[in-house]
Structure 1
Amino acid sequence: MRIKTKLSKAVVLTAVSALALTACGGGGSDDGGGGEANDANKPDQLTVAAWMDFPQDVLDAFQEEHGIEVVVNSFADGAAAQEVLRNGLGADGAGLSDVHLIELDWWTEMMAVPEDWVELPEVPGRWVEWKVKQGSVDGKITGYGTDIGPLAIAFNEEMLSGSGLATDPESFGEFIGGDSATWQTFLDAGREYVAANDNYFIDSLTNGFQAAINLLPAAFEDPESGQPYNLADNTEVKDLFMMFAEAAEDDISAGIAIGHNDWGAGFQNEQWATVVTPAWMSGIIADNADGIPGWRIAGTFPEGGGNWGGSFFSVPATGENTEWAVKLADYLTTPEAAVSWFNTTGQFPSQLEAMESPEISDTENAFFGDQQVGKIYGELAAAAGDSAAGGFRGENFAGIQTLVTDGIRLVESDSATADEAWASVVKNFEALGFDTVR
């Protein structure tokens, strides 16, 4: 008998927000886009606002090369960093750091007034092209890319092989649909798995749902006006919602996503066999599933792949040290620094040279059965191509996505049927009073 953990609405919102704000990255030094800052205006110290660990060797190297101490203004999470940045931009830069880390899902909101940010010099050939486009406003670069989150499926081959369904990454790929894998074939594989096992197929369907939403050209808002679509009439989103919600009704998910208090315990109790795993989550899984054998990374992903997460370093225009802040943003996003970040925190680089570095592509991961995890994610990123950039994200993207994802969790927690959950989501959306289009 599979035991369902029920989630309150407050826990759901907290978990989704934590999940959406988890990804980030950066680190290193070269002669890239930072240019030559004026020594006459050189400060003793530069500040960076972020919510993740920095490789100390990168900070030390910048100080050794330039004689400037780098102080990281750390926040508990991305939500706290976002709030401080939002308030500072609304107060003519009061309280802002010299450099800010900005997460992809709230990038559009922070860049609503492009003049608030310093235009950054081009660095040809450093990043995957779509990352540069994401970090640009009206054709001007305002953010240097850190990490990306190419998507994979982590699965436990011992659980799958015990059911006679798959024995290795290749056969697991075939099990979920092979080269023609879709979210429907993945969810149907989940139904087949739970029919033969006493645990769940996946930790939570919200991860896959978010990945599917990210592939839509314009999920929630009109790219021309920025206004939200009328959710009741948004058939693309509704169709995806119902596909995942109906799988939740069929009990293939434990309803426990990253950010939930029971997520780590779920791994230790072998409560599920698969997790939708952006690159930045692989190290988190290794920590939470420590001591549990059989976890592997598959090279097959539904709909050809995608990306989840990633951040940018940007320089507020109101800062007193903007020339040197640009130099620091450049330094933190070089290929060498990206390799250091990967080795320190597991963040997967957006820098082309770093992706091809043997330190990333050839390194064997003991937890994942000595797989070359960096190589697998690099291949998945290449396979996804420009579609990995995702669709349009307006100022309300993150909030609407949280609202819709909350509906999936309602079904996972047995609090509503798929139809009831969709009706609830639409009602809550309409209560926000948006001036909608179509």
Structure 2
Amino acid sequence: MRFTRKTGAFVALIATTALVTSGCSAGGGEDGGDSPDALTIATWVDIPETLLEQFTEETGIAVEINSFADGASAQTVLRNGLGSNGAGLSDVHLVELDWWTEMMAVPEDWVTLPAVEDRWVDWKVSQGSVGDEIKGYGMDIGPLAIAYDSTLMQAAGLPADPAGFTEFIGGEDATWESFLDAGRQFTGVSDAAWIDSTSTAFQAAINQLPSAFEDPDSGDAMPLADNTDIEDLFTLFGQAAEDGVSAGVGIGHADWDAGFQARRWATVITPAWATGIIAENAAGLEGWQIAEIFPDGGGNWGGSFFAVPATGDNTDAATELADFLTSPEAAVEMFLLNGQFPSQLDAMADPTVSETPNEFFGDQATGGIYAALAESAGDKAAGGYRGVNFAGIQTLVMDGIRRIETGNEDTSAAWKSTVAEFDALGLTE
């Protein structure tokens, strides 16, 4: 499967501001003298070669990429390195939002980065901070959209143009219920599934909640058995899976590439960073488009930060590199290569982002669509609270939905077994 993230990660409140470029001296570590010959970056996202070459030209420092197949692999290496006094860590690490809080559990493990005024949307800076100390420079954000195969829609005799598809799934008042009901209608007249995986849609819905699994005041996990918001969503998506709307093949699955090529599903939940991944996996196919609304008002999924481990030998230079890679100019280049939607204000307002046609998606200006979706999401654009246990609990409940998709359990049994697995973790009294 092609999963190189050549179009990587997701939102936006478009504004025009003055670009302030930071010189960035060390925020928390000491280099101890001369600049290094090279710096390393741990990432699962492609970085434009032109950016790396420019940094080398300006500083005389080469940049080596420690590339990972996906974020989960990068997370594992980072977790292990933090647990062993920095062993095996790179000079700069890309850290994804869902596991950011876990990685920042010991703030002293990370360099405190200098503030760069007016570069990012405010909430991105807040997400990348621990208390009043900035620990990560924002790369991208993940406004949520739905990509759909207009060819399959047309073959089923259903609305295929963006405006018609939008109305088919509920229009401006679209909800997850209306989206899934549209899926039931689609599967009634098509051999294809409505969505690649209901677990993916479930995760997007979780991201719309202000506090999905943990109490924002205390950071403690909430008892899953009493979590009615999650149970209601679990039941909604579980029953849809029982009704056959899902192919049960989510992003990262070994069969995702083949599923696109075989046109096995009509829709995919698509944060901005996934547009390039879809374009790679559906290469050669015509008809994919982006809908201009999202169920329940939109939201954000993902987005990442460049952070500098405090145990590194080159923290000054690494801080300079993190600053360089998150400038508005760099964000525009990342968008053009990967489709990652900028978190930088000037980059959001750049016509290159908002107006450039995306050939794969029928020449739609996807940047402008995602900007509008981000703006309409309002407070949901920032995403909900994520404590240290968020990623683990989310994986557990999504596994429950996958058991329904595979037919191993019905919705009721899957919820009970998921609650039992959660209780066994001993996170609540």
TM norm. shorter chain > 0.5 = yes
Amino acid at match of 2:78: L
Residues in 1 aligned to 2:328 and 2:237: alpha-carbon distance in whole angstroms: 38
Query: Which of 353, 360, 372 is matched with 1:367 structurally?
Result: 360
The reply to whether residue 232 of structure 1 matches residue 225 of structure 2 is yes
In structure 1, the gaps of 5 or more residues are 1-17
Query: Which of 259, 282, 299 is matched with 1:306 structurally?
Result: 299
Query: Which of 219, 222, 233 is matched with 2:212 structurally?
Result: 219
Residues in 1 aligned to 2:357 and 2:4: alpha-carbon distance in whole angstroms: 27
Amino acid at match of 1:373: T
Matches within 5 A, 1:12-411: 24=9, 32-36=21-25, 41-411=34-404
1:12 aligned partner: none
Displacement of 1:319: 2.1
RMSD: 2.1
Residues in 1 aligned to 2:209 and 2:25: alpha-carbon distance in whole angstroms: 41
Structure 1, residues 113-170: CA drift from partner, whole Å, max 9, x if none?
Answer: 1122121122222112221111111122110001111111111223223333313111
Displacement of 1:19: 12
Residues in 1 aligned to 2:283 and 2:126: alpha-carbon distance in whole angstroms: 38
Equivalent residues of 2:44, 2:71 under 8 A apart? yes
Pick which of 401-410 and 90-99 moved more. Answer: 90-99
2:15 aligned partner: none
Secondary structure of 1:342's counterpart equals helix
Equivalent residues of 2:4, 2:69 under 8 A apart? no
Amino acid at match of 2:177: Q
Distance 1:24 1:305, change over 3 A: closer
Residues in 2 aligned to 1:32 and 1:92: alpha-carbon distance in whole angstroms: 32
Aligned length: 414
Pick which of 384-393 and 296-305 moved more. Answer: 384-393
In structure 2, the gaps of 5 or more residues are 11-18
Secondary structure of 2:359's counterpart equals coil
Residues in 2 aligned to 1:23 and 1:213: alpha-carbon distance in whole angstroms: 21
Equivalent residues of 1:24, 1:103 under 8 A apart? no
The reply to whether residue 434 of structure 1 matches residue 427 of structure 2 is yes
Secondary structure of 2:191's counterpart equals coil
Structure 1, residues 211-232: CA drift from partner, whole Å, max 9, x if none?
Answer: 1101111111122332211111
Displacement of 1:40: 5.1
Displacement of 1:195: 1.7
**Structure 2 length-normalised TM:** 0.91
Amino acid at match of 1:278: P
Residues in 1 aligned to 2:428 and 2:198: alpha-carbon distance in whole angstroms: 30
Structure 1, residues 29-81: CA drift from partner, whole Å, max 9, x if none?
Answer: x8623425699532222222222222111111111111111222223332232
Residues in 2 aligned to 1:292 and 1:35: alpha-carbon distance in whole angstroms: 45
Residues in 1 aligned to 2:38 and 2:193: alpha-carbon distance in whole angstroms: 51
Equivalent residues of 1:100, 1:315 under 8 A apart? yes
Pick which of 186-195 and 153-162 moved more. Answer: 153-162
Distance 1:412 1:19, change over 3 A: farther
Equivalent residues of 1:23, 1:103 under 8 A apart? no
Amino acid at match of 2:22: G
Residues in 1 aligned to 2:152 and 2:35: alpha-carbon distance in whole angstroms: 58
Residues in 2 aligned to 1:208 and 1:129: alpha-carbon distance in whole angstroms: 27
Displacement of 1:317: 1.9
Displacement of 1:408: 0.8
Distance 1:238 1:374, change over 3 A: same
**Structure 1 length-normalised TM:** 0.89
Amino acid at match of 1:73: N
Distance 1:142 1:159, change over 3 A: same
Equivalent residues of 2:43, 2:93 under 8 A apart? yes
Secondary structure of 2:267's counterpart equals strand
Distance 1:94 1:263, change over 3 A: closer
Secondary structure of 2:139's counterpart equals strand
Displacement of 1:24: 4.8
